[in-house]
Copies of this chain bind each other. A is one copy, B any other.
Amino acid sequence: MKRVQVIGAHSADFVWRAGGAVAKAVSLGGVAEVIALSYGERGESGELWKEDGQTVENVKRVRHGEAERAAGHLGATFKCLDFGDYPLDVDRERLLEIAEAIRAFAPDVLITHTAVDPFNPDHPVAYGAVDRARSLAAGAGVSSAFATIRPPQLFLFEPHQPELCAFTPTVHVDITNVWEAKIAAMGEMQAQQYLQTYYAQRGEQRGNHARRASGLSEVRYGESFMRVLPEVVEQL
């Protein structure tokens, strides 16, 4: 029973990249929270802006609803820090706000973007902020002047073009028995039909990779992550 926290740059990132892992953790008794640093209202909501008389408030409202319903399918809560996007900026105050969100939730597992993404100006900014906020929340491993939490494990979720983002999968999560929940969550992102197909295929392929790596023939769908820090185990 784990506490899982996903922090993405834009409000839809978590669905494609970690929806299955979130649903799986919840199905095993865990608790999950999704935090978006922005609504992606400028960079990733173009379909909405094609409507006459569209306003930024309305775009955010629509995006909030989509993300909240998607999180609901997965069993997670959703909130947005609304920092704005394209470009996303994180100053000292916002960094401390992220650190406080991590400290408040005290996750076992923290998931965010890769450090590199040549096709997105906001993803690396989100990575840098979450990585640093995690250290602030967990402290230096010695006593500090502020409250700290047990250091959460840090994972990077799969970017759109993994090889260009220095993403090497080190963990495949078997999401076979929560696949329908991920499909449902992706279905809420109505303007992004193509990505639904893309990430459905990706889930099949990661399932194939997981079978190859483990010999477990019952895995049908997978999601892949890159572990940043060593894990501590009882045995290999």
Contacts and interface: CB of A to CB of B under 8 A. Distances in A.
Given A143-B46, A213-B151, A232 B204 contact: no
Contact of A231 (B24, B143, B153, B170): B170
A74 interface: no
Contacts of A145: 41-43, 45-46, 49, 56, 59, 86
Interface in A92-115: 92, 95-96, 109, 111
Taken together, the copies of this chain in the complex come to: 6
A114 to B, nearest CB: 11
A77 interface: no
Nearest to A197: B204
A163 B169 contact: yes
Interface residues of A, number: 92
- Main SS of chain A's interface residues? mixed
Contact of A205 (B42, B138, B174, B201): B201
Nearest to A225: B236
A146 B54 CA distance: 13
A236 B4 contact: yes
A214 B232 contact: yes
A212 B161 contact: yes
A136 interface: yes
Q: Which 10 A-B pairs have the closest CB atoms?
A: A46-B143, A150-B215, A121-B135, A214-B232, A42-B145, A141-B212, A201-B201, A46-B144, A210-B232, A163-B168
